[in-house]
Structure 1
């Protein structure tokens, strides 16, 4: 092997080693940017607001559990809740960051950017504004449909079973 070939191989190996060692840092920066965009999507889409009341619900539920057997401690629990709420609100932030990681796994950088851009448009802002009412109305329609469907299925099954000689 000539000196020139050996030098090329050493250079190629050094270049490869450099590329491999830099790639994780670049990937971390890219992932951090993607997570930041995903979190922005959660914030601008109104998804973060769905978690706004979650901490007080947990605290109140815990209080109710304790107060059932110790009603005289109700006021003390109110004070404890005020003390603990900031601690548990910080966990809400962790949940939002975890949800952002899910978004980052499911969407490309470009898709996240497009989604974020959509939510800043008038249509996107309107979606954020009316979506809770749309979901509530959809839930009510789905429940009514389900009840009717269940009744119809039972009624039709009875009719078909009666044709077969079974009165159920």
Structure 2
């Protein structure tokens, strides 16, 4: 139980830290996207392809179909067989729609960067340093998250100790 409490505390701290990094406006509905040139969209798509962004949403359709089926099953248990069969049909019917996410992401990039900036980014990502960044950045992010979680857990224990010490000063054991 104590370990679970520590993990939850660390996760909460990590989530809180992540939110402080994101600007407040980024948590709301994004503004409408401006029209971008075909060249800007093409450059954005090239960047996303180099970053293998499609891996993030490759299973979006089957995952959303599964989530919807699971949600419907909660209140319709007697239709389990039918819902399982329908899930296969719906997944097949909507297969490929995850590509819309890639199109949207390209528009977002084209909205955030000028056409020239996107072209410069393509050039950079094709450079040796850009290639190294593409290769090393996912690991660096993974290790950074791991470090942040470890730090949060240790710091959570420090905070817990401070609370206990202050409560002892008040004559209360917790």
The equivalences for 1:53-64 within 5 A come to: 53-64=59-70
Quick one: which of 102, 108, 114 aligns to 1:108?
Answer: 114
Report the CA distance shift for 1:123/1:60 in structure 2 as closer, same or farther (over 3 A).
farther
Quote the RMSD (CA, aligned, Å): 2.9
Q: Secondary structure at the match of 1:46?
A: coil
**Which sections of structure 1, spanning at least 5 residues, go unmatched?**
1-27
Superimposed CA distance per residue, residues 49-86 of structure 1 (whole angstroms, 9 cap, x where no aligned partner): 21112222112222333455133236523531452232
Name 2:92's counterpart in structure 1. 83
Q: 2:63 & 2:80 partners in 1: Cα distance?
A: 19
Give the whole-Å Cα distance in 1 for the aligned partners of 2:132 and 2:61: 27
SS at match of 1:40: helix
**Residue in structure 2 matching 1:73, options 82, 96, 108:** 82
What is the number of residues matched between the two proteins? Answer: 137
Partner of 1:36: 42
CA contact (8 A) 1:35 1:101 kept: yes
Which of the pair is proportionally richer in helix? 1
**Hey, what's the Cα distance between the residues in 1 that align with 2:81 and 2:152?**
44
Would you say the 8 A contact 2:43–2:118 is kept in 1? yes
On the 8 A contact 1:67/1:73 being kept in 2, the answer is no
Residue 99, structure 1, aligned to residue 105, structure 2 = yes
Name which one, 1 or 2, has greater alpha-carbon Rg: 1
SS at match of 2:62: helix
Aligned partner of 1:146 among 142, 152, 157: 152
Show structure 2 runs of 5+ residues with no match: 1-34
